[in-house]
Amino acid sequence: MTSNSTAGAQPRVAVITGGSRGIGRESARLLAADGCAVVVCSRNQDEADTVAKEITTAGGTALALRADVSDEASVAALFDAAESTYGGVDVVVHAAAHAGLGRTSPVAELDLAVLDVLYRTNIRGTFMVAQQAARRVRDGGAIITFSTAVVRLAMPGYAAYSASKSAIEALTLILARELGSRDVTVNAVAPGPTATELFLEGKDDATLAGLAARAPTNRLGTPTEIAEVVAFLARPAGHWVNGQVIQVNGGVL
């Protein structure tokens, strides 16, 4: 657990699930650079500590917490800790890795046990984080969820995964309307193929080249490129963007 308090005006507070790797890690670093006090949440305490230390070494403010976003009590405890440490929450980025991208199957052959895992992790997990965010985020804040470009691409074999992500999109758009009177924005970011550790794992060069070729620029996105959009949505400059699913995919077709 690492924290670095600053004197004077209290900073905005950002809670980032999945903040120790990939897009979440880059989002944490960018929001800290913007002056937010960042709560880095991960299932791996050591990895969260590493990111928090990087932020504080650079002069930012960060707190590392272990939390399981599939567990209701753990999610509530995460927000409790953020509030008790920094006095409130202004931004929530739910970047925790979601299940199912590698579990492809035609609808006719899908093992329903896989569907149950997708439901619990992607839909129920996101709903729990969104529920706590809706209760805790201060007026004028921002909530950012994650979908995927796969939903729009309608790729065969990805029905269960895409359905779970479509549910996240629906939740996001409805929550934006429910929280509008409090000036809280709610948006989803939908990345295309992005070179995170999790995405690259288990894929050979030919597979990665094929995925890269789907973009006009013939390359994969980077975690930082996705995180820049997250940071924009969290900033005051991005506050008029609300109730949107933003495709960040390099023009993937």
pLDDT tens-place string over residues 218-252? 999 999 999 999 999 999 999 999 999 999 999 99
In a domain? residue 200 = no
In a domain? residue 215 = no
Q: Give the closest residue to 95 by CA, choosing from 152, 160, 22, 30.
A: 22
Number of domains in the chain: 1
In a domain? residue 204 = no
Side chain identity, residue 247: Q
In a domain? residue 78 = yes
| pLDDT tens digit sequence for 53-86 | 999 999 999 999 999 998 999 999 999 999 999 9
Residue 34 is part of a domain; what is its CATH number?
3.40.50.720
Q: What's the pLDDT score for residue 132?
A: 98
In a domain? residue 201 = no
* Dist CA 134 CA 174 (whole Å): 12
In a domain? residue 63 = yes
7 pLDDT tier (thresholds 50, 70, 90): very low
- Give catalytic status of residue 161 as yes or no: yes
Q: What's the pLDDT score for residue 21?
A: 93
Residue 18, pLDDT above cutoff 70: yes
The domain in which residue 142 lies consists of 13-195+224-246
In a domain? residue 4 = no
In a domain? residue 163 = yes
Q: What mean pLDDT is reported for the chain?
A: 93
| pLDDT tens digit sequence for 101-154 | 667 899 999 999 999 999 998 999 999 999 999 999 999 999 999 999 999 999
**Mean pLDDT value of segment 186-204:** 89
**pTM score:** 0.93
Task: Give the whole-number percent of the chain exceeding pLDDT 70.
Answer: 95
10 pLDDT tier (thresholds 50, 70, 90): confident
Spot the catalytic one: 86, 119, 158, 161: 161
